[in-house]
Amino acid sequence: MILDVTIMGTAYKLSCKEGEEASLQEAVRYLDSKMLAIRDAGKIRGNDRIAVTAALGIAAELLAMQSGDGPLAGMTLAESKQKMTAMHQVLDAALTPQENLF
């Protein structure tokens, strides 16, 4: 099955298995919201850099949830959000000098 979706204003055609449409659409909404938040913060330019930053944040969230001894283990939701914000700030600081190269 082919789904038409929009991520950061760009249309994509994505294929998925029958019955997985809702999950894919939820994933698209989640990714779109992460990318829009990064873009709207104004610290990172370029869709590719925004996508990489969003992917790193989502990967960190996934790994933290999978690992009982990961960096977010034992934290409350508020504490984990603060930790994720700090990680995003580190990523922003690391990627910002790269923007001057392009």
CA distance 50 to 37: 9
pLDDT of residue 6: 94
The reported pTM is 0.64
pLDDT of residue 32: 94
pLDDT of residue 99: 58
Identify the segments of the chain with pLDDT beneath 70.
65-73, 93-102
DSSP one-letter string for 4-64: EEEETTEEEEEE--TT-HHHHHHHHHHHHHHHHHHHHHTS--SHHHHHHHHHHHHHHHHHH
